């Protein structure tokens, strides 16, 4: 909140909108965004085709076979992320190991809009934090993954307009 408050106050004094440079200077908010994407990635899996024979852990994956990486399993693997079911933005203070964080896919087939999506989330969060107060009404039940992440039993939330 403090990160967003500083930007909001600077912009209010100068009567200017949020700038590109300011979105690049939101390290905590960025970590919150990427940890949210790790916890509840919109892409659960993808299909790929082996272009050559591959041996993996003693098994042969023949050329032409379809493979299906399960991103949620990768993102929630304790070998890659300690306490993977705990929301912890600090885990992104450094870069994750290669091929352990792929909320938009990876390689040449990665979503071409991934940076735009993260930018839109940053802008949305800035305006949400600066202009609204909210609270969950009722009980949070966690996330359901079938096939896309959604709050179990919905997420009734009360919003009220309130500028910083």
> Binding site for heme, residues?
111
> What length does the chain have?
164
Q: Is the peptide bond before 147 cis (omega within 30 degrees of 0)?
A: yes
Question: Any idea what the Cα angle at residue 111 is, between residues 41 and 147, rounded to 5°?
Answer: 35
φ/ψ of 61, rounded to 5, equals -105, 105
113-138: buried (b, 16+ CB within 10 Å) or exposed (e) per residue? eeeeebeebbeebbeebbeeeeeeee
Residues comprising the binding site? 111
């Amino acid at each position: 909140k403090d990160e967003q408050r500083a930007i909001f106050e600077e912009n209010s004094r100068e009567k200017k909108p949020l700038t590109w440079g300011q979105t690049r200077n939101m390290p905590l908010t960025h970590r919150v965004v990427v940890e949210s994407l790790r916890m509840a990635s919109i892409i659960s899996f993808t299909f790929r085709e082996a272009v050559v024979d591959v041996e993996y852990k003693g098994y042969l994956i023949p050329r032409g076979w379809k493979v299906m990486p399960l991103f949620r399993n990768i993102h929630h693997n304790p070998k890659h992320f300690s306490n993977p079911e705990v929301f912890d933005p600090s885990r992104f203070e450094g870069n994750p190991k290669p091929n352990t964080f792929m909320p938009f896919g990876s390689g040449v087939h990665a979503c071409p809009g991934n940076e735009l999506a993260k930018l839109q989330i940053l802008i949305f969060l800035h305006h949400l934090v600066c202009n609204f107060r909210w609270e969950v009404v009722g009980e949070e039940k966690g996330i359901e993954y079938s096939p896309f992440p959604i709050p179990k039993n919905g997420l009734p939330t009360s919003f009220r307009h309130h500028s910083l």
